[in-house]
Structure 1
Amino acid sequence: MAMPEITPEEQADLDKALYEALNPLATAIRSRESGLPPERMWASEPVEVTLSVLAAWKVVDAEVKRLTAHAAATAGSYGASYEQLGAVWGITRQGARKKWPEAVSRPEAPKAEPRALELFGGTARLTPLPDGGWRWTGTGADGTPGTAGDGARYATTEEAAAHAGAFLKDHALDTTDRPRP
């Protein structure tokens, strides 16, 4: 989705609506700070009046950020990705993730399941560990049992498979069904 563009008429209407919403807030802030009644807000020094308006815009800015985060979270709850949120906001996927870190729920990683490996006439079983690592046990084609060394654990299933594969290769049969030298 491309960044939306608004027409000059829509911009004028938006400006008018924002100023109409801002004026009561700026008046209330100025009245509290000066002790003057709201109808005398504009009778103060111009710098003080404009600073009250700026303070009101700061409040509006914070509210817009809160509502924006809520809109991003709502979009995320309906399946929007950080890439989509970033595209709408005109920032990268990473920028959207940083801006609204809780907007998109990450699916829980699937639970690792044991896997079988058949190579060189032997078999090995790759088993996930509770901490996320992997181990293997196997039987070579020559009948030799094998396992990952004492306390050995592998970071990935691919690493465990490589070690199991090396074991199975070492215990393969040659073409005459005899153990390899």
Structure 2
Amino acid sequence: MASIEITSEERAELGKALTDALNPLAAAIRSRESELSEARMWEADPVDVTLSVLAAWKAVDTEIKRLTAIAAATAGSYGASYEQMGAVWGITRQGARKKWPDAVPRPSTAPARTGTALQLFGGTAELAQDPSSRGWTWSGKGADETRGAAEDDTWYATKEEAAAHAGAFLREHAADPS
């Protein structure tokens, strides 16, 4: 998705909506700073009035930056990359990483968490959980010395499901009873 441009009509509607939303905040700031009631706040010095409007826009700008960071983090949590976020924002991937440094989760360098070692039918299998929570996997060696593991990129939703697949492998490669 590339950077989004809005039409002049949309820009006008947005400007009106933002100004309408800003007015109560600007009025409260004007009234507080001028110590005049809201009914008389326009009687304040014009510089003070315009500065109160500027102060209100600063508050809105700060809130927009906070909400934008939340939106970026949400996009990152769903798998959006810095390259995609940068394209939408009209900046580079590096610019997006600098703007929202924690938006995209970094891949874990920690080894997979070891679960349970299974010893069945004369063989062993090790269950492991992916640190990024893709699920569980297994690898093992049957009693007949055959090595096996979950297929590439196969992750099971639960430890028990991975154990069932590992157990089936171990049963298939059990020691010959004769």
- Flag whether TM exceeds 0.5 (same fold): yes
CA distances 1:10-52 after superposition (whole Å, capped 9, x unpaired):
1111011011000100000111111111122211111110000
Partner Cα distance (1:63, 1:3) in 2? 22
Residue in 1 that maps onto 2:24: 24
- 1:124-139 equivalences under 5 Å are none
Residue in 1 that maps onto 2:108: 108
Residue in 2 that maps onto 1:40: 40
What is the TM-score normalised by the length of structure 2? Answer: 0.60
Residue in 2 that maps onto 1:5: 5
1:65 is matched by which residue type in structure 2? K
- 1:48-67 equivalences under 5 Å are 48-67=48-67
Cα-Cα RMSD: 1.3
**Bigger CA radius of gyration:** 1
Q: CA deviation at 1:111?
A: 3.4
Partner Cα distance (1:103, 1:59) in 2? 23
CA distances 1:105-135 after superposition (whole Å, capped 9, x unpaired):
01112639xxxxxxxxxxxxxxxxxxxxxxx
- 1:84-99 equivalences under 5 Å are 84-99=84-99
CA distances 1:54-75 after superposition (whole Å, capped 9, x unpaired):
0000000000000000000000
Partner Cα distance (2:100, 2:50) in 1? 32
Gaps of 5+ in 2: 113-178
Partner Cα distance (2:2, 2:42) in 1? 42
Residue in 1 that maps onto 2:81: 81
Q: CA deviation at 1:8?
A: 1.2
Gaps of 5+ in 1: 113-181
Runs (4 or more) in structure 1 with deviation over 6 Å come to none
Partner Cα distance (1:2, 1:87) in 2? 5
2:18 is matched by which residue type in structure 1? L
SS in 1 for 2:103: coil
